[in-house]
Structure 1
Amino acid sequence: MSFETLGLSDAIVRAVKEAGYTSPTPIQAQAIPMVLTGGDLLAGAQTGTGKTAGFTLPLLQLLSLSKSAPANRTAARPVRALVLTPTRELAAQVEESVRTYGKYTNLNSAVIFGGVGINPQIKQLKHGVDILVATPGRLLDHIGQGTVDVSKIEILVLDEADRMLDMGFIHDIKKVLAVLPKQRQNLLFSATFSDEIKALADKLLNSPQTIEVARRNSTVEIIAQMIHPVDRDKKHPMLAHLIKSNSWEQVLVFTRTKHGANKLVEQLGKDGIGALAIHGNKSQAARTRALAEFKDGTLTVLVATDIAARGIDIDQLPHVVNYDLPNVPEDYVHRIGRTGRAGATGEAVSLVCVDEHQMLKDIEKLIKQTLPRQVIPGFEPDPTAKPQPIQLRSGGPGHRNQGERSGQGRSRGGNGGGAAARSGQRPAGAAPRSGAPARSGGGPRSAAPQRNGGGRGR
Structure 2
Amino acid sequence: MASISATLLVSLSRAVVRFQPQQNHNCKSSSSLTTTINFTDSRLRRHSRAALSSSSDVTTREAGSGNSSPTLREICQGHVPEDLTRKCCRTEEIGYVLPTEIQREGLPFLFSGRDCILHAQTGSGKTLTYLLLIFSVINTQRSAVQALIVVPTRELGMQVTKVARMLAAKPTENDLEQKSCTVMALLDGGMLRRHRSWLKAEPPTIVVATIGSLCHLIEKHIFKLDSMRVLVIDEVDFLFNSSKHVSYLKKLLASYSSCKNRLTVFASASIPQHRRFLHDCIQQKWTKSDVVHVHVNSIQPLPLCLHHRFVICSKETKHQTLLSLLQSDAPESGIIFVGDQSEKSKKAGNAPSTTLLIDLLKNSYEGSSEILLLEEDMNFNSRAASLLEVRQGGGYLLVATDIAARGIDLPETTHIYNFDLPRTAVDYLHRAGRTGRKPFSDKKCTVTNIITSEEQFVLQRYENELKFNCEELTFQIQC
Question: TM-score of the superposition, structure 2-length normalised?
Answer: 0.72
- C-alpha displacement at 1:309, in angstroms? 2.9
Q: Does 1:329 align with 2:425?
A: yes
Q: Does 1:266 align with 2:359?
A: yes
Could you say which residue in structure 2 is the equivalent of 1:340?
Answer: 436
- C-alpha displacement at 1:335, in angstroms? 1.3
The 1:300–1:97 alpha-carbon spacing in structure 2 relative to 1, beyond 3 Å, is: closer
Could you say which residue in structure 2 is the equivalent of 1:158?
Answer: 233
Residue type matched to 1:5 in 2? E
Q: Does 1:52 align with 2:145?
A: no
The 1:152–1:368 alpha-carbon spacing in structure 2 relative to 1, beyond 3 Å, is: closer
Could you say which residue in structure 2 is the equivalent of 1:197?
Answer: 277
Aligned residues of 2:270 and 2:426 also touching (Cα < 8 A):
no
- C-alpha displacement at 1:263, in angstroms? 2.2
Q: Which runs of no fewer than 5 residues in structure 2 stay unpaired?
A: 1-69, 171-178, 342-351
Identity of aligned residues (%): 26
Aligned match for 2:339, one of 249, 256, 260: 256
Residue type matched to 1:286 in 2? S
Q: Does 1:357 align with 2:456?
A: yes
Aligned residues of 1:230 and 1:379 also touching (Cα < 8 A):
no
- Please give the per-residue CA displacement for 1:419-457, whole angstroms capped at 9, x wherever unaligned: xxxxxxxxxxxxxxxxxxxxxxxxxxxxxxxxxxxxxxx
Q: Which runs of no fewer than 5 residues in structure 1 stay unpaired?
A: 64-68, 381-458
Larger mean CA deviation between 92-101 and 209-218 belongs to 209-218
Could you say which residue in structure 1 is the equivalent of 2:194?
Answer: 120
Could you say which residue in structure 2 is the equivalent of 1:103?
Answer: 169
- C-alpha displacement at 1:228, in angstroms? 1.3
Distance 2:332 2:389 in 1: 12
Distance 1:367 1:78 in 2: 43
Distance 1:297 1:85 in 2: 25
Distance 1:251 1:278 in 2: 13
SS at match of 1:372: strand
Aligned match for 1:288, one of 369, 376, 384: 384
Question: TM-score of the superposition, structure 1-length normalised?
Answer: 0.75
Aligned match for 1:179, one of 230, 236, 256: 256
- Please give the per-residue CA displacement for 1:103-162, whole angstroms capped at 9, x wherever unaligned: 248322111111232123223323111111111100011112332221211111111111
The residue correspondences of 1:55-454 to structure 2 (distance < 5 A) are: 55-63=130-138, 69-71=139-141, 77-104=143-170, 106-126=180-200, 127-168=202-243, 169-177=245-253, 178-181=255-258, 182-195=260-273, 197-202=277-282, 203=284, 204-206=286-288, 207-214=290-297, 219=302, 221-258=304-341, 259-272=352-365, 274-297=370-393, 300-341=396-437, 342=439, 343=441, 344-378=443-477
Distance 2:197 2:365 in 1: 44
SS at match of 1:186: strand
Distance 1:354 1:369 in 2: 20
SS at match of 1:211: strand
- Please give the per-residue CA displacement for 1:385-435, whole angstroms capped at 9, x wherever unaligned: xxxxxxxxxxxxxxxxxxxxxxxxxxxxxxxxxxxxxxxxxxxxxxxxxxx
SS at match of 1:110: strand
The 1:143–1:150 alpha-carbon spacing in structure 2 relative to 1, beyond 3 Å, is: same
Aligned residues of 1:293 and 1:299 also touching (Cα < 8 A):
no
Aligned residues of 1:330 and 1:366 also touching (Cα < 8 A):
no
Distance 2:226 2:381 in 1: 33
- Please give the per-residue CA displacement for 1:198-240, whole angstroms capped at 9, x wherever unaligned: 3542221111122111289874631122211111121111212
- C-alpha displacement at 1:53, in angstroms? 0.8
The number of residue pairs the alignment matches comes to: 371
- C-alpha displacement at 1:316, in angstroms? 3.1
Distance 1:54 1:118 in 2: 28
Residue type matched to 1:270 in 2? N
Aligned residues of 1:12 and 1:61 also touching (Cα < 8 A):
no
SS at match of 1:60: helix
Could you say which residue in structure 1 is the equivalent of 2:73?
Answer: 4
SS at match of 1:339: coil
- C-alpha displacement at 1:247, in angstroms? 2.7
- C-alpha displacement at 1:17, in angstroms? 4.1
The 1:357–1:159 alpha-carbon spacing in structure 2 relative to 1, beyond 3 Å, is: same
The 1:159–1:220 alpha-carbon spacing in structure 2 relative to 1, beyond 3 Å, is: closer
- C-alpha displacement at 1:250, in angstroms? 1.6
Residue type matched to 1:147 in 2? I
Cα RMSD, aligned residues only: 2.5
Distance 2:222 2:91 in 1: 34
- Please give the per-residue CA displacement for 1:267-310, whole angstroms capped at 9, x wherever unaligned: 22222564232121011111111112223345631111123432
- C-alpha displacement at 1:77, in angstroms? 0.8
Residue type matched to 1:225 in 2? H
Aligned residues of 1:41 and 1:209 also touching (Cα < 8 A):
yes
The 1:46–1:11 alpha-carbon spacing in structure 2 relative to 1, beyond 3 Å, is: same
